[in-house]
Amino acid sequence: MNLIDQYIANNQYGKLLGMNFSILEPGLVNYSLTINEHHLATPFTAHGGCIASLLDATMGVGALSLVSSKNQVVATVEMKINFLKGAVLNDQLLANSKVVKNGNKIIVMQAEIHNEKKELLALASGTFMPYDAMKAGY
């Protein structure tokens, strides 16, 4: 089992939120999530932490896809988010990642979330540190 498959099998938080991803190419990831009652902070609007989790996961898997062949995983060391519009009940969210810098010691990523109407809901940038997968239990 490769490192990405192991990540999928062990990512209980992603399963809890109902997030799913596909890697289009190294660094370019699509992550999806449909907002349901468990994601809400108000009667209609998703909690910002849910949106932050989707952005972090999207950038994190994008960074992971760059280093997994070297038996490395990544840790988030910094993230900035702009919340532009609320995600509401039943919104189908699609987040995508983009590589800004793929360095040996840090990887800088960006991600955006759109709803099914193609409205931009949030965007983020993040810095990730690659490290040996054995330290993470893989």
Q: pLDDT of 106-119, one tens digit each?
A: 999 999 999 999 99
Q: Residues 32, 35, 36, 38: is their CA dihedral positive or negative?
A: positive
Instruction: Supply the mean pLDDT for the chain.
Output: 97
**Averaged pLDDT for residues 92-102:** 98
Mean pLDDT confidence for 122-134: 97
Please, what are the domains in the chain?
3-136 (3.10.129.10)
Distances 18 to 14, 22, 66, 77, 134 between C-alpha atoms, Å: 6, 14, 24, 24, 27
For 5, counting Cβ atoms within 10 Å of its Cβ (0-12 exposed, 13-18 middle, 19+ buried), the class is exposed
**Averaged pLDDT, 83-101:** 98
pLDDT tier at 123, thresholds 50, 70, 90: very high
Q: What is this structure's pTM?
A: 0.96
In this structure, are residues 85 and 123 in contact, taking their beta carbons and an 8 Å threshold?
no
Residue 49's pLDDT is what? Answer: 98
pLDDT band at 22 (very low <50, low <70, confident <90, very high): very high
The tokens for 111 are 């991600």
What's residue 75's pLDDT?
98
Give mean pLDDT, residues 11-26: 96
Residue range 126-135: mean pLDDT, rounded: 97
Q: Per-residue pLDDT for 1 more than 80? A: no
Q: What is the pLDDT of residues 29-85, one digit of tens each?
A: 999 999 999 999 999 999 999 999 999 999 999 999 999 999 999 999 999 999 999
